[in-house]
C-alpha cells in the first residue's frame, strides 16, 4: 500500500503549485498511471479522497488515465508495439530483449482550479 | 460580467511532474555519495532469507572488502543485531509503518554510518515484493531474493520487482526435494519475466551456490571501482 505515500506526494506537489499560481481551489487533477508503474489506480483513488478533506484540495476530482505499455524490440527493431505484461515478447521475432518506452510512468499531467 | 461580482477564473496548470520527482532527486544525491562503492538493494517477501543471505555473504567477503549494511524494517532492530555479530558496521532504519524504504530514509541512515573506504554497501529493504520496486534509493541495482518455499509461480505474479533486478537469488534450495519444487520451471519463468537478471540457486543455510553469487558480486565491485578510477 505504498499508494498512500505516493498520493500524499501528489497532494503536496499540487498544493504547493496551486499556492504559487495563486489558486484558492483545486477542482480537478489529471494523473497518468503507467500499466507497469507498480501503483494501483484504485488504491491511489482511495487514498486521494481519504486525504483531501480539510486540505486546500478539498472537493477536487481525480481523473486517472492508464498509460498502456509501449515497447521497442532491440533484436529486430520493431517499435511502439504492445504486449500484455508480465511476459514481454516481441510479436515479430519473439525476442525478449525489449525496451519499455512507455507504461512505467507515474505523473501529474495537469490540474485545474480557480 | 456584473460589477462587484467576484472575478473567478478557471485555470489549468500543466505540471507534467513525476510523482516520484522528489524521491528521485534525493536518490540522485545518494548516488553521488555512493560514487566510490557498490550499493546493492536487497528486496524480497518477508521470510525469504535476506538477512541469512547477508550474514553468510558478509562473513565470506569481510576479509577482502570493507563492508557496511543499512537494515530496513517496519519495527525492531532484530536484523541489525544479527548483522552486528558478523562485525560489519550496520545501521537499522525503522519505517514505523511504511511498507518500503525511500531515498530520504536512506540518507538519514547514511548520515549515521561511516562510509569512508567502504567497497560494498548492502541495503536490506522491508520485506515486501511489491512496494519497494517503485522507489529508487540511489543503489547501483536491486537483487531480489525468492525462496523455494514461496513456490515457483511468483515472478509472473509480482513482475515489477523481478523486471527491475540485476540478479535473482533463489534461496533455500536445500529444501527442493521436500518441497517438490520445479526449479527448471522457475528458471524458465524468471527468464520470461526478467530476462536481464542473472539467476543463482543458493542456500544460506548450507552455503550451496554461494561461490557463483559472491564471484558475481566481486566482479560488480571491481566494475564500480574501475569506473571510479577511470
What are the pLDDT digits (tens) for A65-109?
999 999 999 999 999 999 999 999 999 999 999 999 999 999 999
| Cα–Cα separations (whole angstroms), residue B167 to B40, B43, B143 | 10, 11, 5
B14 pLDDT higher than 60: yes
Looking at beta carbons, which residues of chain A come within 8 Å of B25?
none
Is A21 touching B (CB cutoff 8 A)?
yes
A6 pLDDT higher than 90: yes
pLDDT band at B136 (very low <50, low <70, confident <90, very high): very high
B47 pLDDT higher than 90: yes
- Expressed as residue numbers, the domain containing A65 is 3-69+101-113
B4 pLDDT higher than 50: no
Distance CA B146, CA B131 (A): 16
For residue B8, what pLDDT is reported?
67
What are the pLDDT digits (tens) for B49-58?
999 999 999 9
Which among B13, B131, B163 is the nearest to A2, CB-wise? B131
Residue A85 in any domain: the answer is no
In this structure, which topology does domain B21-221 adopt according to CATH?
Rossmann fold (3.40.50)
Predicted-complex ipTM score: 0.90
What are the pLDDT digits (tens) for A13-71?
999 999 999 999 999 999 999 999 889 999 999 999 999 999 999 999 999 999 999 99
Chain B (171-210) residues lying within 8 Å, Cβ to Cβ, of chain A: 191-193, 195
CATH classification of the domain holding A16: 3.30.2320.50
Q: Give me the residue spans of the domains in chain B.
A: 21-221
Q: Do B191 and A39 touch (CB under 8 A)?
A: no
pLDDT band at B230 (very low <50, low <70, confident <90, very high): low
DSSP E strands in A1-114: the ranges are: 26-34, 61-67, 70-73, 98-102, 106-113
Chain mean pLDDT for chain B: 94
B110 pLDDT higher than 80: yes
Residues whose CB falls within 8 Å of the CB of residue A67, separated by 6 or more in sequence, listed in order: A32, A33, A34, A35, A37, A102, A103, A105
Residue A27 in any domain: the answer is yes
* Number of separate domains in chain A: 1
Amino acid at each position: 500500500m505504498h499508494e498512500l505515500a505516493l498520493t500524499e506526494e501528489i497532494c503536496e506537489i499540487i498544493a504547493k503549485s496551486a499556492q504559487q499560481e495563486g489558486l484558492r481551489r483545486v477542482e480537478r487533477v489529471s494523473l497518468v498511471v503507467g500499466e507497469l508503474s507498480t501503483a494501483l489506480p484504485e488504491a491511489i483513488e482511495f487514498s486521494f479522497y481519504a486525504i483531501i478533506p480539510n486540505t486546500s484540495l478539498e472537493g477536487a476530482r481525480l481523473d486517472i488515465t492508464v498509460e498502456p505499455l509501449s515497447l521497442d524490440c532491440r533484436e529486430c527493431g520493431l517499435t511502439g508495439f504492445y504486449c500484455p505484461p508480465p511476459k514481454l515478447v516481441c510479436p515479430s521475432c519473439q525476442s525478449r530483449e525489449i525496451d519499455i518506452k512507455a507504461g512505467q510512468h507515474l505523473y501529474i499531467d495537469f490540474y485545474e482550479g480557480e | 460580467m456584473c460589477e462587484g461580482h467576484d472575478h473567478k477564473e478557471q485555470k489549468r496548470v500543466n505540471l507534467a511532474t513525476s510523482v516520484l520527482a522528489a524521491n528521485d532527486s534525493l536518490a540522485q544525491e545518494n548516488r553521488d555519495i555512493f560514487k566510490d562503492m557498490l550499493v546493492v538493494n536487497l528486496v524480497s517477501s518477508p521470510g525469504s532469507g535476506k538477512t541469512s543471505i547477508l550474514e553468510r555473504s558478509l562473513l565470506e567477503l569481510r576479509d577482502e572488502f570493507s563492508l557496511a549494511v543499512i537494515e530496513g524494517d517496519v519495527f525492531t532492530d532484530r536484523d541489525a543485531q544479527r548483522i552486528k555479530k558478523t562485525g560489519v558496521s550496520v545501521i537499522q532504519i525503522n519505517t514505523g509503518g511504511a511498507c518500503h524504504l525511500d531515498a530520504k530514509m536512506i540518507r538519514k541512515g547514511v548520515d549515521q554510518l561511516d562510509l569512508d573506504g567502504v567497497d560494498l554497501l548492502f541495503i536490506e529493504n522491508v520485506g515486501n515484493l511489491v512496494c519497494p520496486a517503485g522507489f529508487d534509493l540511489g543503489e547501483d541495482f536491486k537483487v531480489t531474493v525468492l525462496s523455494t518455499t514461496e513456490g515457483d509461480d511468483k515472478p509472473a505474479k509480482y513482475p515489477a520487482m523481478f523486471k527491475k533486478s540485476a540478479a535473482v537469488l533463489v534461496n533455500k534450495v536445500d529444501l527442493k526435494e521436500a518441497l517438490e519444487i520445479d526449479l527448471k520451471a522457475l528458471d524458465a519463468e524468471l527468464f520470461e519475466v526478467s530476462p536481464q537478471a542473472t539467476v543463482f540457486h543458493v542456500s544460506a543455510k548450507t552455503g550451496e551456490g554461494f561461490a557463483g553469487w559472491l564471484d558475481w558480486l566481486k566482479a560488480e565491485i571491481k566494475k564500480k571501482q574501475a569506473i571510479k578510477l577511470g
